[in-house]
Amino acid sequence: MELNEAFSRAIKHIRIRHGHTQEYLYHKTRIQVCNYECAQRKPRELTIRRFCQFYDLRYARLLKIVQVATDNNLPVEGIIDLDWDKLKYPKIRAS
């Protein structure tokens, strides 16, 4: 999955999960999300930050979700729905 496609799918999934339409999001944030959800345009950092602020999502977390999906060819929707705070990571022992 390409980075741009992962961002577009993440933005759409988050918006829909909150029950918001593209029009609602535009009226609240002035982000024309349809351009990004269709991967017609790559969102700028400021746009992503405004989107994250509106949905109370940490910018770094969204970037990490997109990176994990892209690097591992995983569906971004499943990664977003993980409860990241409750994930347990195995301890790595020094050799």
Q: Which two tokens stand for residue 25?
A: 């999001």
Which residue ranges form the domains of the chain, and what is each CATH number? Answer: 3-86 (1.10.260.40)
Q: Residue 91 pLDDT > 80, yes or no?
A: no
pLDDT tens per residue across span 18-52: 999 999 999 999 999 998 898 888 888 999 999 99
| Nearest one of 87, 71, 69, 88 to 79, comparing CA atoms | 69
- Average pLDDT, whole number, for the chain? 82
Q: What is the pTM of this model?
A: 0.77
Q: Residue 89 pLDDT > 50, yes or no?
A: no
pLDDT tens per residue across span 59-70: 988 888 888 888
